[in-house]
Amino acid sequence: MRPRIAVLGRFAAKVDVLRHPGVVISRPLAETIWRAGGDPVTLLPVDSPDGKDWSSRLTGVDGILMPGGGDVDPACFGATDVHPEVYGVNAVQDATDISMIQWAVERAVPLLAICRGFQVLNVALGGTLEQHFDAPHRHQRHHINVKAEHELIGVTSERIDVSCHHHQRIDTLAEGLTAVAWADDGTVEAAVAGPELVAVQWHPEDIAADDDAQQRIVDAFITRVRGS
């Protein structure tokens, strides 16, 4: 059987095929999970006690993928000023993401965090973010340097090409996370915490259909899920 992978949905103001705002995950992400052998399940972000009852909501789920999305509210990591480039902040999204991540980490549930997922993971564990940086990695393909060809990520080369779309980045890395990949400008691009938790700042799903190196990142996640 395919392992079921929970993906917390992202609020979308407009979805072309609907008459209302949506709760979505990207099709390329869902298809990347499916190609890896998993079955993606979209969950509704709900900031209420029953919405955060993950022991019930994740019954029958084998792993969690925390996807990209809008920015984390700077207040979540203690900032009092908000950079004008910050966008897409949603209190329900932040609260649900943080709650789900903390639950998964406490129980060593296999977790793959992508882009915003990495950032909110860092915040959930006590780290901070740089709200905006010069020459942001928006709509950008660039190379990153990977420590020891990191097998937990599924990367088999010390330097790989990735697809990025972010203007924020890790400032203070949370205790318990270990950085294992960096862009040439010093941006932390990946971190791990034991075999259960892997986070990448780029979007493997952008090019995974045509790039085996990116597909292997999600393949490695599904392999960890199957072995947990």
Active site residues: 115, 203, 205
State the CB neighbour count (10 A cutoff) for residue 204.
Answer: 26
Angstrom CA distances, 82 to 112, 134, 136, 170, 188, stand at 28, 16, 17, 16, 22
Structure tokens that stand for 13 in this block: 């103001």
Contact in structure between 66 and 6 (CB atoms under 8 Å): no
| Euclidean distance between CA atoms 125 and 176, whole angstroms | 8
Residues 218 and 67: beta-carbon distance below 8 Å: no
d(CA 198, CA 65): 10
C-alpha angle with apex 177: 53 to 222, nearest 5 degrees? 60
Phi, psi of 140 (to 5 degrees): -130, 135
- Please name every residue paired with 39 in a beta bridge, in sequence order, or none if there are none: 4
User: Which amino acid appears at position 21 of this protein?
Assistant: P
Beta strands in 73-196 (DSSP E): 111-114, 129-130, 137-146, 159-166, 169-170, 178-183, 188-193
Cα–Cα–Cα angle for 16, 20, 21, rounded to 5 degrees: 85
